[in-house]
Amino acid sequence: MRRKLLLGNWKMNKLASEAKEFAISSKPLVQKAKDAGIDIGVAPTYLSLQAVKENASSDMIVAAQNVHQLVSGAYTGEVSIPMLKEFGIDWVIIGHSERRTYDNETNAKCNAKIKALISNNMVPVYCVGETLVEFEGGLTKEIVGTQVRDGLKDLTAEEVKNLVVAYEPVWSIGTGKNASTEIAQDICHFIREVLRELFGEVADEIRILYGGSVKPENVKAYLSCEDVDGALVGGASLKIDSYEGLLLNIL
């Protein structure tokens, strides 16, 4: 049985003081989620990780939005796994489309980061998804299939057990043009079949999220899809009321 997962991606939003305020207000919500057997979390900027970790319930998943695969060295502007671990962070979003678009995050780079995270017993949330041009060209499965295969190259079934995959069509992120539930189910099912081909029956344990213009009004429809185990939510996760709305609608 896969537990439902609701993860907010704050991107480059919120001062640490605002993140702290959110974390404090989120405590009753996290308790509600726990009581209902739902995993819930947020991914703040690096600078707000500590504020959220220290002020939210210990059941709140606190994820970083990126990490470098090496432990230390001359990589200006980067943050490593031991640096996150020192703050008790063990979840990291990898390969978000904004990082693929603006920071040249390739499938190979994602693969190196995912391997480094897994070997440190951390949980990667690996994002995949096609652009509008690829979608319109009927290339979604080809693109997403390659992202899954290349991003998870040389890993074993045992290693990917705790991995989370997020299907986020690039054309639906922050645009209000969310994919239909039929598309979300079709592609999440396709991802599970690729995972099955690569890793066997562990594919049934891996959680697959949908992301892209998820709001309190449509979250339930996505989570009713058989292969959609949760949501990765940007804009609608920023305000506590809307974050609460997301949760209340899937309880």
Active-site residues, by number, are: 96, 168
Quote the radius of gyration of the chain (alpha carbons, Å): 17
Q: Whose Cβ is closer to ligand PGA: residue 145's or residue 216's?
A: 216
Contacting ligand PGA within 136-175 (CB under 6 A): 168, 173-174
Q: Whose Cβ is closer to ligand PGA: residue 117's or residue 128's?
A: 128
Q: Is 234 one of the binding residues for ligand PGA (CB under 6 A)?
A: yes
Name the minimum Å distance from CB 173 to ligand PGA: 4
Contact code string over 5-24 relative to ligand PGA, x by CB under 6 A: ----x---------------
Q: Whose Cβ is closer to ligand PGA: residue 145's or residue 234's?
A: 234
Contacts of 3 (CB under 8 A, 6+ apart): 37, 38, 39, 207, 229
Name the minimum Å distance from CB 66 to ligand PGA: 13
Closest by CA position to 123, among listed 62, 196, 212: 62
Contacting ligand PGA within 184-223 (CB under 6 A): 211-214
Q: Among 18-26, 81-89, 148-156, 228-236, which window interacts with ligand PGA (CB under 6 A)?
A: 228-236
Rounded to the nearest angstrom, the gap between the alpha carbon of residue 170 and the centroid of all alpha carbons in its chain is 14
Contacts of 132 (CB under 8 A, 6+ apart): 170, 171
DSSP string covering 38-89: -EEEEE--HHHHHHHHHHS-TTSEEEES--BSSSSSS-TT--BHHHHHHTT-
Instruction: Give 158: exposed, middle or buried? Use CB within 10 Å, 0-12, 13-18, 19+.
Output: exposed
State the number of binding residues for ligand PGA (CB under 6 A). Answer: 13
Question: What's the one-letter identity of residue 165?
Answer: V
Q: Whose Cβ is closer to ligand PGA: residue 50's or residue 65's?
A: 65
- Which residue's Cβ has the minimum distance to ligand PGA? 234
Residues making contact with ligand PGA (CB under 6 A)? 9, 168, 173-174, 211-214, 232-236
